[in-house]
Each structure stands twice: as C-alpha cells, then as structure tokens.
Amino acid sequence: MTTFTVISEKASEDLAKKLSKKIRAKYIKSELTVFPDGESKITISSKPKKGSIIIVQSTFPPVDSNLIRALTLISKAKQYSPNVIAVIPYLGYARQDQEFLPGEIITIKVIANLFKASGASKIIVVDIHSKIALNQFKITSKNVSAVPNLVNYFKKLQLKEPLVVSPDLGGASRAKEFAKHFGTKYITLKKQRDRKTGKVLIKSSDLKEVKGRDLVLVDDMISTGGSIIKAAQFLKKQKCKRVFVACTHALLMNNAEKKIRKAGVSQIISANTIPGNTALVDVSGIIAKAIV
C-alpha cells in the first residue's frame, strides 16, 4: 500500500487537510514569507514520510504567486520522493489554450512544461476550463468533475420546476451533466464575448419555457461575473422565478458577488477549490478517489 504525505501552503490549507484525512496521509503545512518585492519563500514544517507526496495548491489570485508557490513546493517534494502528485484544484491559465487572436500565446503550454520541469509526475485538476488545455501536459493528468457534488447541494433546496441553464454553448456538456444528475432538462444560451474588450452579450431569442420556473445557471468559473450577470438579466426578463448559480471556481473578481446579486441571482454556490463564502461544496472526496 502506498504511503502518502500531503503538503500545502495557505491557499489550499483547508482542502489539503480534508484530503489528508480522507486518504489517511500525514499532513505537512508550510510557512510562507513574502519579501517586500513580492518574492515568495516557502519552508515546509517537517520531513515527509517515505512514499508519494501530494502538493495541494490552487492558483487563484494572486495567480502567478500561487503558481510559483505550487512549483517550488513540487520541487521540494521531489527531493524526498520520485512520485510527486500536483493537486491543483483551480488551475489558472487554462483559458489561454489557443491562439484566438494573432500574436496571442498558448500560455497553458508553458505552465504545463513548468509542472513537469519542477518534478510533478501527475497532475489532478478539478473542472479544468478546457480539455484542450489538459492535453498540453506531458505528464499523467486527470480532470475530476465537481458537478455531482454541486448537484447534491441543489437537491437539498426546494426548487420550483427547476431547469438547468448554460450561459454559453461551450458550457453545454457541463449543463447536460448537471441536468442528468439533477433529473431535469437543460437549455443553452447564446453568448457572444468581444475577444478584445471582454464584453458579453446574450444573443438568445425569447424563451417561453423558463417562465415561472427556478433556474440553475451552471458554469465552470466566475471571474468578473460578466457572463452570469448578462445571463441572469436575460432570464429575469423572460419572467423566470428565481435564478441560482452553480459553479466550480468562484473567483468573483472586482465585487462580482455583489453585482451578480444585484442582477437578481438568489444564491451562488461554488466548490472549495477556491475558498470563500460561496464555497459550500467540498471536493476533497472526489480528489481522494482520483488519488487512491
């Protein structure tokens, strides 16, 4: 039987502790010092056990700092074990998986190479923005879905004739998976995003089927909230009942939570891949399953 040690830094401490309990692993915390110029210095608090080492570190803001912290922890773990598993619950840069406009860089390819070069033998991520991004990893990679866990939360709510809604075509398969577990139907809105300004427009025509029903808007991530706000405003105009949001990674930048609530959303539920007051769904169990 493999012995595991889990190491994390502050960003994912709670999730890492939950994971270590689930897989009966030793948990090692680390101490972070940030120098006045922004450099991160991490010291692990004790020696890992002989066996595999799991580094847990989400890369939410400050994205680049958290990324460097993940990479340096991996390189430290590699000194103790040939088998280092990087658990990156929220992996930033996955949206930069293609050259959408001339001159753009496929940054996720660079990030994937860095994980390998730092010493990770495997990477586990939760609801990565795009499967294309995952293909850039030249080490074993696994994407686990938080959707069944999110659905379990929604099953406890008393929703009226619930209908699942994807804010865009890209999220249709996620909404389909959510609807399957939830035992409901799903619909997909037509979203248009200006690649230069980031502005979002909903181009769908009127939808009679949402009238009087509770809706669950499903997305992989909320960053500025632009997509969810436009979708919620559109759905409210269609005279739906309440709008709920289910997402895996709630980044909620620039006061997004307040703006989303103002757009008429009753509640935002997210996973604990990113800590915060909407992070009510624990994903340590699904990560544990991907490890053992």
- The footprint of ligand R5P (CB under 6 A) covers 167-168, 170-171, 200, 219-227
- CB 253 → ligand R5P: shortest distance, Å? 7
* The amino acid at 195: R
Nearer to ligand R5P, 283 or 288 (CB): 283
Nearer to ligand R5P, 222 or 291 (CB): 222
- CB 200 → ligand R5P: shortest distance, Å? 6
Q: Which residues of 99-108 are buried (b: 16+ CB within 10 A; e: fewer)?
A: eeeeeeebbb
Nearer to ligand R5P, 119 or 226 (CB): 226
- CB 260 → ligand R5P: shortest distance, Å? 9
CA torsion angle for 87, 88, 89, 91 (degrees, to 10)?
-160
The residues annotated as belonging to the active site are: 191
Nearer to ligand R5P, 9 or 220 (CB): 220
DSSP 3-state assignment of 251? coil
- CB 80 → ligand R5P: shortest distance, Å? 37
* The amino acid at 278: T
Q: Position of tokens 């050259």?
A: 99
- CB 62 → ligand R5P: shortest distance, Å? 17
The answer to whether the beta carbons of residues 154 and 164 sit under 8 Å apart is no
Q: Please give the helix or strand (H or E) that residue 153 lies within, else none.
A: helix 147-155
The number of residues in the chain equals 292
Nearer to ligand R5P, 120 or 200 (CB): 200
Q: Do strands 84-88 and 122-126 pair parallel, antiparallel, or not at all (unpaired)?
A: parallel
Cβ burial, residue 131 (10 Å; 0-12/13-18/19+): exposed
> Alpha-carbon distance 292 to 54, whole Å?
12
For CA atoms 143, 275, 167, 181, the dihedral sign is positive
